[in-house]
Amino acid sequence: MRIDVRPSSARFVTRTEWLESRHCFSYGAHYDPGNVGFGTLVAHNDDVLEPGGGFADHPHRGVEIVTWMVSGALRHSDDHGGGSRIVQPGTVQRLRTGAGVVHSEVNASDNIARYIQMWLMPDDELPAAYDVAEVSAGEGGFALIASSTADAPISLCTKAALLAGHFRPGDTASLPPAAFVHLYVIDGAVLLGDVPLLAGDAARVIDCTDLEITVDGDSQLLVWVMESSVWRPQPH
């Protein structure tokens, strides 16, 4: 088992008048050939939009985009079934871009909107489609949010699963065994084994087995569990 910790301070950051976006992987103008993805994840952005800010119509293709709302509200529109939807905490959305989708996302609240947006490489190129579901993070444990399995609130066409959990100080949880596990601390503080992680930190675990989390503070966590990779980790 190998654990690669990526602290918040090491992440790429894009700032504009209306956006602060912190990237786990190479994104946009930020490029590092050794950090283009992990497992099937190729983007993992922690975005904060100012009131009135957002992304006008723009295209995507060949990825699945999963958005987890943290605070505020986001108005999503697209040309492949998404129409115009308001996404708030307690909902998750998936945009399957297929051969091409044009969509927009803007802050739909009077306060900042914060969300985690994650892109995955699909196993198959299915037609473009949009889906949204009401979900809640697990309390004191992880809840299944999105997966290629039939029992998930949001379906994926890649062999991966997204878990979300809200934990209190003193709670413990175990990461699922898998070839690739990506843990992201949205808020709070945890110990991954004996490794401390704070808000904005991420851990990439290869060949994960018997790895326990101990929670130090009120914490929100997102975990991707993946069995295949779209890139080859560089040897250390």
Domains present along the chain, CATH in parentheses: 2-226 (2.60.120.10)
Query: What is the distance between the alpha carbons of residues 29 and 11, in angstroms, rounded to a whole number?
Result: 13
Please name the residue ranges forming H helices in 124-229. Answer: none
Q: Give the residue carrying structure tokens 């998404």.
A: 82
Q: What's the token pair of residue 167?
A: 């934990």
Using a cut of 0.85, tell me whether the model's pTM lies above it. Answer: yes
Q: What digits encode the pLDDT tens for the residues 104-147?
A: 999 999 999 999 999 999 888 788 999 999 998 999 999 999 99
Confidence class for position 231, pLDDT limits 50, 70, 90: low
Residue type, 162: L
| Local structure of 135: helix, strand or coil | coil
∠ CA 168-152-187 to the nearest 5 degrees?
25
Alpha carbon 115 to its chain centroid, in Å, reads 9
Residue 144: φ, ψ to 5°: -75, 125
Query: What is the distance between the alpha carbons of residues 199 and 184, in angstroms, rounded to a whole number?
Result: 8
| Local structure of 168: helix, strand or coil | coil
Average pLDDT across the chain, whole number: 92
Q: What digits encode the pLDDT tens for the residues 28-85?
A: 999 999 999 999 999 999 999 999 999 999 999 999 999 999 999 999 998 877 778 8
